[in-house]
Amino acid sequence: MKTVTTSAPGRVNLIGEHTDYNGGYVLPMTIPQRTVVELKATGGGRATLRSGNLPEHKAVFSYELGREARAGAWADYVQGVTKLLAGEGYILGGFEALVNSTVPIGSGLSSSAALEVAMMRALREAFALDLDDLAIAKLGQRVENEFVGARVGIMDQMVSSLGGDGAALFIDTLDFSFKRVTLPADTDLVVINSGVRHSNSGGGYNTRRSECEQACGLLGVKLLREVPSTGLARVEALPEPLRRRARHVVTENQRVLDAVRAISEGDMKELGRLFVESHKSMRDDYEVSVPEIDLLVELALGESGVYGARLTGGGFGGSIVILARRGTGAAAAERITRAYAAKVPYKPVILVSGEQGADK
């Protein structure tokens, strides 16, 4: 039978962290690193998966469609896909799939969403499924929430499924509306992986979401999106740590709006300032940064061509994103990573450097 080949990109979030599951605004864009799926329908009801990125004893996973069960392995994201597709009435047959990815796992650049979207694209083509790109994003989020156990928002899946062409996506996660926002041509975007792995299915991420829900209950709202930046006095009356968690989300939503405005006006100094303020909020109010990430940001801000830098992704490790003056990003990234590697026992990796860093 015919083999179909599909792919989906990872992403970097410019600003708007932990706002998506609160109904807020986000501003992610795709990166060049991608997950590629080669899938062949085989008949019957068995799915056999192979990863080209793992050692042989971890690379192969096989299961019966309709008998998906969490195994605590990479294949859970695929099992979740087939389980939820079947639950929505889509008809699948047996298949074999080879997965290769250049999106580093645990980097905070959405390797899981890239896998989910690439897999659903392959299944859509192989089994002629009536699935549009937004439906793929929504199902991908449900895979993580309902099957894997990571209570993530929809940002990662939306940008992986709908993003590209060198533009960021300004997404309103309350109604899934979005528009493309292009950074000025005189900027470099740099992404550096700290080497400290994170996991959205770990306890810290889910705890933050629960804390936001507790804050909503005390504020009498369904989502923190309903609290405007002018309503911070109400937030300040919350008990700790809910006060700081809610304050981050409310102020971060405003920072996304301000960032989109700064981009439209070509004000990269203002955008850089917003990056720095966002990082401070994630470090101090949301408490999802780690010392290694803070060090990378500090080193980046010491570079003369850098406008701003911040933790990107869910936190507890992962990567930083840097906004720099065009032509300065690559050299700055080299200096930053050398200084970082001399101070910590982790190997940093420059994933994106220059030309706005977009997935063209």
pLDDT-derived band at 353 (thresholds 50, 70, 90) equals confident
Q: Is the pLDDT of residue 320 over 90?
A: yes
Q: What rounded mean pLDDT belongs to the chain?
A: 94
* Range 199-203 average pLDDT: 60
End position of a domain, from candidates 153, 179, 205: 179
If you ran DSSP here, which 8-state letter would residue 333 be given?
A: H
* Domain enclosing residue 118, as ranges: 3-179
Q: Is the pLDDT of residue 357 over 70?
A: no
Is residue 110 located within the same domain as residue 46? yes
pLDDT-derived band at 202 (thresholds 50, 70, 90) equals low
User: Taking the model in full, what pTM does it have?
Assistant: 0.93
Q: Is the pLDDT of residue 97 over 90?
A: yes
Is residue 77 located within the same domain as residue 92? yes
Closest CA to 310 of 281, 338, 335: 281
pLDDT-derived band at 279 (thresholds 50, 70, 90) equals very high
CATH number at residue 342: 3.30.70.890
End position of a domain, from candidates 134, 149, 179: 179
DSSP letters, 13-46, are EEE--S-GGGT-EEEEEEEEEEEEEEEEE-STTE
Decide the pairing of beta strands 349-353 and 187-193: antiparallel
**179 within 8 A of 166, measured Cβ to Cβ:** no
Write the pLDDT tens digit of every residue in 222-268. Answer: 999 999 999 999 999 999 999 999 999 999 999 999 999 999 999 99
Q: Is the pLDDT of residue 347 over 60?
A: yes
Write the pLDDT tens digit of every residue in 8-61. Answer: 999 999 999 999 999 999 999 999 999 999 999 999 999 999 999 998 888 999
Our separate counts of H helices and E strands in the chain read 11, 11
Is residue 300 located within the same domain as residue 199? yes
Q: Is the pLDDT of residue 355 over 80?
A: no
Is residue 148 located within the same domain as residue 225? no
Is residue 171 located within the same domain as residue 194? no
Q: How far apart are CA 27 and CA 243, in angstroms?
A: 24
End position of a domain, from candidates 126, 160, 179: 179
Is residue 28 located within the same domain as residue 151? yes
Is residue 119 located within the same domain as residue 235? no
Structure tokens at 324: 């720099």
Q: How far apart are CA 191 and CA 195, in angstroms?
A: 12
Is residue 58 located within the same domain as residue 107? yes
Is residue 265 located within the same domain as residue 346? yes
Is residue 333 located within the same domain as residue 190? yes
Catalytic residue among 20, 132, 133, 156: 156
Place of tokens 């690439």: 118
By CB neighbour count within 10 A (0-12 exposed, 13-18 middle, 19+ buried), where does 80 fall?
buried
Strand partners, 50: 60, 98
Write the pLDDT tens digit of every residue in 150-194. Answer: 888 999 999 999 998 889 999 999 999 999 999 999 999 999 999
If you ran DSSP here, which 8-state letter would residue 312 be given?
A: E
Is residue 102 located within the same domain as residue 226? no
CATH number at residue 158: 3.30.230.10
Structure tokens at 46: 């068995």
Q: Is 132 a catalytic residue?
A: no
Q: Is the pLDDT of residue 360 over 50?
A: no
Q: Is the pLDDT of residue 84 over 70?
A: yes
The predicted pLDDT at position 260 comes to: 98
Write the pLDDT tens digit of every residue in 293-306. Answer: 999 999 999 999 99
In total, how many domains does the chain have?
2
Q: Is the pLDDT of residue 358 over 80?
A: no
* Range 57-84 average pLDDT: 96
- For the CA atoms of 123, 86, 89, 116, the dihedral, rounded to the nearest 10 degrees, stands at -40
Is residue 166 located within the same domain as residue 199? no
Closest CA to 143 of 166, 126, 167, 123: 123
Structure tokens at 184: 């000025």
**88 within 8 A of 74, measured Cβ to Cβ:** no
The predicted pLDDT at position 199 comes to: 63
